[in-house]
Amino acid sequence: NAGVTQTPKFQVLKTGQSMTLQCAQDMNHEYMSWYRQDPGMGLRLIHYSVGAGITDQGEVPNGYNVSRSTTEDFPLRLLSAAPSQTSVYFCASKTGGQGPYNEQFFGPGTRLTVL
Amino acid sequence: SQKIEQNSEALNIQEGKTATLTCNYTNYSPAYLQWYRQDPGRGPVFLLLIRENEKEKRKERLKVTFDTTLKQSLFHITASQPADSATYLCALVVTTDSWGKLQFGAGTQVVVTP
């Protein structure tokens, strides 16, 4: 199993550009989520999904869109990039339905810089 | 306001000693707490989960305690090795639905020197 994969690993954007961060998992996990990690701050939840066609907002959703058309894929779209979105983005997945304590599996991250 | 606090200063420790990390929280009532390890340039990796009715949990050289009265978890690495050098994150399970959203602390860096 590849686990959780993310592309690209690095990206530089100019203010106002849009882009999509890709995330895929091959573990048949229902739950997928996107976090951003900034220096001195914990991982913050952007959006999450509990299954194909079901998404919801996390703690910091503004400026980001998600969709979940398949169990495997959960892309994150930046609509109009801003310097405040410079961060490292992590996708994660886990099984659900057995209780809220299941471990999350994280991807390797995408380092995004917005100029 | 809700807050999760981990020591922001790096913990420098000599090989063979025990590293102890703290995770303090306010205005949460988590039923579960998880610890993750994160190496530079990589995603976090799950280490341990402890439930509110468990005082202590062990896994190999790792030990976690969870005191809901003090609102604190302690994470111990015994007989530390240079390979234990990493950042360690605590995460509270802040919802009781079956999906269990996590709230993360900022992490504490551990540096183990030979």
Confidence of residue B85 (pLDDT cuts 50, 70, 90): very high
Q: What average pLDDT does chain B have?
A: 92
Among partner residues A50, A58, A108, which is closest to B42 by beta-carbon distance? A108
Residue B93, pLDDT score = 81
Question: What is the tens place of the pLDDT at every residue in A56-112?
Answer: 999 999 999 999 999 999 999 999 999 999 999 999 999 865 555 688 999 999 999
CA–CA separation, A34 and A91 (whole Å)? 5
B40 interfacial to chain A (CB closer than 8 Å): no
Instruction: Please report the pLDDT score of residue B3 as a whole number.
Output: 86
Quote the pLDDT of residue A61. 97
Tell me the shortest Cα–Cα distance from B29 to chain A, in angstroms. Answer: 14
**Contact state of A100 with B8 under an 8 Å Cβ cutoff:** no
pLDDT at B2: 76
Q: Of chain A residues 30-69, which have a CB less than 8 A from chain B?
A: 31, 35, 40-45, 48, 50, 58
Q: Choose among B61, B59, B60: nearest CA to B49.
A: B59
Longest dimension (CA), chain B: 44
What whole-number percentage of chain B has pLDDT above 90? 73
Residues of A in contact with B8 (CB under 8 A): 40
pLDDT tens sequence across B21-69: 999 998 887 878 999 999 999 999 999 999 888 989 999 999 999 998 9
**Per-residue pLDDT, A1:** 80
Q: How many Å apart are CA B72 and CA B23, to the nearest integer? A: 6
**pLDDT computed for residue B73 by the predictor:** 95
The full length of chain B comes to 114
Q: Residue A24: its pLDDT value, please?
A: 98
Q: Which two tokens stand for residue A112?
A: 């995004």
> Regarding predicted confidence, which is higher, A28 or B27?
A28
pLDDT computed for residue A83 by the predictor:
97
Please tell me the distance in Å from B90's CA to the nearest CA on chain A.
9
Distance CA B72, CA B83 (A): 26
Q: Would you call B78 helix, strand, or coil by DSSP?
A: coil
Which of B104, B97, B106, B26 is closest to A56 using CA atoms?
A: B97
Q: Quote the CA–CA distance of B50 and B39 in Å, as a whole number.
A: 22
pLDDT at residue B109 above 90? yes
CB nearest A96 (choices: B45, B46, B98): B98
Lookup: tokens for B65:
């305690």
- What is the rounded average pLDDT for all residues in chain A? 94
